[in-house]
Amino acid sequence: MVVPSPTSMIRTKKTKAVGIPTIDLSMERSELSELVVKACEEYGFFKVVNHGIPKEVISRLENEGTEFFSKNSTEKLQAGTSTPFGYGCKNIGPNGDKGDLEYLLLHTNPNSISERSKTIAKDHPIKFSCIVTDYIEAVKELACEILELAAEGLWVPDKSSLSKVIKDVHSDSVLRINHYPPVKKLSKDNLDPSKFQNNNNTIGFGEHSDPQILTILRSNNVGGLQISTQHGLWIPVHPDPNEFYVMVGDSLQVLTNGRFVSVRHRVLTNTTKPRMSMMYFAAPPLNWWISPLSKMVTAHNPSLYKPFTWAQYKQAAYALRLGDSRLDQFKLQ
């Protein structure tokens, strides 16, 4: 059963209750796979509980994030700029997108992590790289489990068809830690009213969908994330530091021939408390072709997308603005 959590229940104008699905991974497998498919079709977004990831794996990475972001900006900039990996502040991507946040962007390749650790955590690089690696291993396993459940629920003959894409040693997956310092309501330093949404909050990270296959997100206890329904209604996501949220990315939308939807989401800043979130973006190797699984294509349901490699899709994503609908260029009809 998809259980809408009471805290995430909101009502639309027509007073229809909208709830973000919560999926309990300790449930029976056949039931679980149906729930995963339903949530990916309806929202492209759900919460997982009983995920089995030890609390310490999460808290150690959170502590490293807190320690890093509390440094002064000269020290943080020594981590290297975020083009493409390192520390970034306010700038998102190469085309002028801005947000009220700072972040660390890391490639999940072990060599890349150990190199970056030397500049991010100069006084304890080995400890930092072990903490990051443990977290990545844990969330990658969770992502694979969800992709296997999805494949089962879609009756794809090889249940590893989706998970093997991200398990490959050359996977181009990325880890991101975002830190959103609180932004006060209009003050003399913050005089631009156009920056504010809902009267109170500035945009921490603008509306977009993730280009990858699946995103596994965890945040501290501070809210701000909102997801858009397929009808364009924004739903606030209740923060839950002990659980994970799962997002369908554009590539999984293509692999399922549009049956799953990549979720558009954004983050608004808090006026008093800092938000910290960590996202694992599960991606294929650069040279992998992405096209609908054969099970998802029939005479009545022809392929909706031209095949493309992950490198081609990334290139398209980086050539556009954050909020652009980049899948449009690859649509067949």
Q: Enumerate the active-site residues.
A: 275
Tokens of 18: 């909208």
Q: Which is nearer to ligand GA4, 97 or 243 (CB)?
A: 97
Segment 20-79, which members bind ligand GA4 (CB under 6 A)?
Answer: none
| Spatial distance between the Cα atoms of 84 and 242, rounded to a whole number of angstroms | 30
Q: Which is nearer to ligand GA4, 176 or 264 (CB)?
A: 176
| Segment interacting with ligand GA4 (CB under 6 A) among 22-30, 138-146, 222-230, 317-325 | 317-325
Q: Is residue 211 near ligand GA4 by the rule CB under 6 A?
A: yes
List the one residue from 294, 318, 325, 331 that touches ligand GA4 (CB under 6 A). 318
- Smallest gap from Cβ 321 to ligand GA4, in A, equals 6
For residues 280 and 178, the answer to whether their CB atoms sit within 8 Å is no
Terminal Cα distance for the chain, rounded: 35
Instruction: Match 């000269």 to its residue by tokens.
Output: 74
Burial of 158 per CB tally in 10 Å (0-12, 13-18, 19+): exposed
Question: What are the beta bridge partners of residue 247?
Answer: 45, 215
The 10 Å Cβ neighbour count of residue 109 is 16
Q: Which is nearer to ligand GA4, 153 or 211 (CB)?
A: 211
Q: Is residue 162 near ligand GA4 by the rule CB under 6 A?
A: no
Q: Is residue 102 near ligand GA4 by the rule CB under 6 A?
A: no
- The DSSP-derived string for 208-238 is E--SSSEEEEEE-S---EEEE-TTS-EEEPP
List the one residue from 79, 154, 174, 252 that touches ligand GA4 (CB under 6 A). 174
Q: Which is nearer to ligand GA4, 183 or 282 (CB)?
A: 282
Which residues are at the interface with ligand GA4 (CB under 6 A)?
92-93, 95, 97, 105, 174, 176, 208, 210-211, 281, 317-318, 322
